[in-house]
Structure 1
Amino acid sequence: MSKSGRPREFKDTAVIDAAVEVFWTNGYEACSTDDLCKQTGLGRGSLYNAFGSKHELYEQALRRYHEVGIQAQIELLEQEGPVKNCLRSLLEWEIPKGAEADSRGCLLINAAGERAKSDPVVEKIFKQHVGLLEQAIWNAIRRGQETGEISKEKTTEELAGMFLSSYYGLRVIFPATMDYALAERMIDGILNSIF
């Protein structure tokens, strides 16, 4: 317990969430310790005492982003009702509108593009995220094939792989363009290729 009587993990979670925002906005290389201190409210000494290094905080930020994001995506895919609606919900989840619109894209995709080839931690977290998401997509498509909503003409693996690659394409293209009409055409095209 901390001196305030609150479990330390609560404080750490708030600090990690603040760090997520800094790394998400700036990327790893352009993120300074001063940026992290300002956003988290911790002094330089406290930050390093709590997390050891900028890279260790980055790892925890990526893990936190992964855990929250994968849970949200899996919940969308496991909703009751037609599988088409579940898959559409997942695709539309990436296209926030209004005040929630964000051109930063996905922190994990950004991290993989920036550091996966040189940073085994980033590579591991990204692969774990993609693997869990692919399995959840596979499960949803299999469910649709078993109910007759999706044809069995193509294998579950083929459809899941195609959906996953299209979904990640959308997750790269939309933040870069913020083109809602293009995103809607992409979503319709992805779903029409399966149903």
Structure 2
Amino acid sequence: MGRPRKFDEDEVVEAACRVFWRGGYDGTSTDDLCRATGLTRSSLYNSFTSKEELFVRALRRYAEERAERQTAVLEDQGRSGLERIRALLAMIVEDEMGGREQGRGSGCFTVNTQTSSARRNPAVAEVLDADLRKRLGVLEGAIRAGQADGSIAADRAPAELAWYVNSLVGGARVAGQAGVGREVLEGVMATGVRALEP
């Protein structure tokens, strides 16, 4: 009979998420993970098999938590479709500025991973692709709601507009990491919102 685990697996995944978010897969060592989680190498690998498995778990956790926050905004029935998009873009600006002010400045874990070598791993690609499909679906739903209530131009394909907003978010994340200030990011988001108006 094996000894019971003496740690909370969710807490370990959360700690690993923060480390991978800052350093990416390639920039995070096993020693980094051991320091962040408080586990020995043997405990880490007995529990998670490999660094790769822990990375996938951390990425999935991040994607699910972020999706939950964004979905709550984009499915808010108390707002017009355009107001939902505007609220999402304001959240992105706050995330970027808040992270920088708190000394994190790590951007978006999924955006960072999309542009890294880790993307070539099939398990990582599966998490990223599922996250993208879900995000585009929720964005498209908010856009359709906006077209129905008249706040978003009805002469454009909702799927294309969903990709547009998604690209705007990704670009803002990268710009935020490049040091672009609040005023510029807010201006970019405002321009993006105006492009959706009837």
Q: TM-score if structure 2 supplies the norm length?
A: 0.88
- Separation in 2 of the partners of 1:34 and 1:109? 25
How far is 1:186 from its partner? 0.6
Query: Separation in 2 of the partners of 1:52 and 1:28?
Result: 15
Who is 1:44 aligned against?
41
Q: Which residue of 1 aligns with 2:90?
A: 92
- Unpaired runs of 5+ in structure 2? none
| Off by >6 Å, runs of 4+ in structure 1 | none
Q: Name the SS of the counterpart of 2:128 in structure 1.
A: helix
**What residue in structure 2 maps to residue 103 of structure 1?**
105
Distance between the aligned counterparts of 2:142 and 2:102, measured in 1? Answer: 27
How far is 1:147 from its partner? 1.3
Q: Which runs of 5+ in 1 are unaligned?
A: none
1:21-75 Cα offsets, whole Å, 9 max, x none, are 1111111112111110111111111111110111111111011111111111111
Give RMSD over aligned pairs: 2.0
Q: Give the secondary structure class of the aligned counterpart of 1:177.
A: coil
Between the aligned partners of 1:154 and 1:3, the Cα distance in structure 2 is 57
Aligned positions, number? 190
Letter in 1 for 2:86: R
1:165 equivalent in structure 2: 167
**In structure 2, what is the equivalent of residue 128 of structure 1?**
130
Inter-partner Cα distance in structure 2 for 1:18 and 1:116 = 19
Hey, what's the Cα distance between the residues in 2 that align with 1:145 and 1:89?
17
Residue identity matched to 1:121: A
User: Are the structure 2 counterparts of residues 100 and 142 from structure 1 closer, same or farther at C-alpha, using a change threshold of 3 Å?
Assistant: farther
* Partner residue, 2:184: 182
Q: What amino acid sits opposite 1:82 in the alignment?
A: S
Q: What is the one-letter code of the residue matched to 1:177?
A: G
Aligned equivalents of 1:101, 1:74: Cα separation in 2? 27
Report the equivalent of 1:28.
25
Residue 192 of structure 1: which of 191, 194, 197 is its match?
194
User: What secondary structure, in the 3-state scheme, does the structure 2 residue paired with 1:42 have?
Assistant: coil
Q: Specify which structure has the bigger relative contact order, considering alpha-carbon pairs within 8 angstroms and separated by 6 or more residues.
A: 2
Tell me what 1:81 maps to: 79
Which of 146-155 and 35-44 deviates more? 146-155
* TM-score of the aligned structures, taking structure 1 as reference length: 0.89
User: How much identity, in percent, do the aligned residues show?
Assistant: 33
Partner SS, residue 79 of structure 2: coil
- Supply the distance in 2 between the matched residues of 1:33 and 1:116 (Cα, whole angstroms): 16
Query: Secondary structure of 1:126's match?
Result: helix
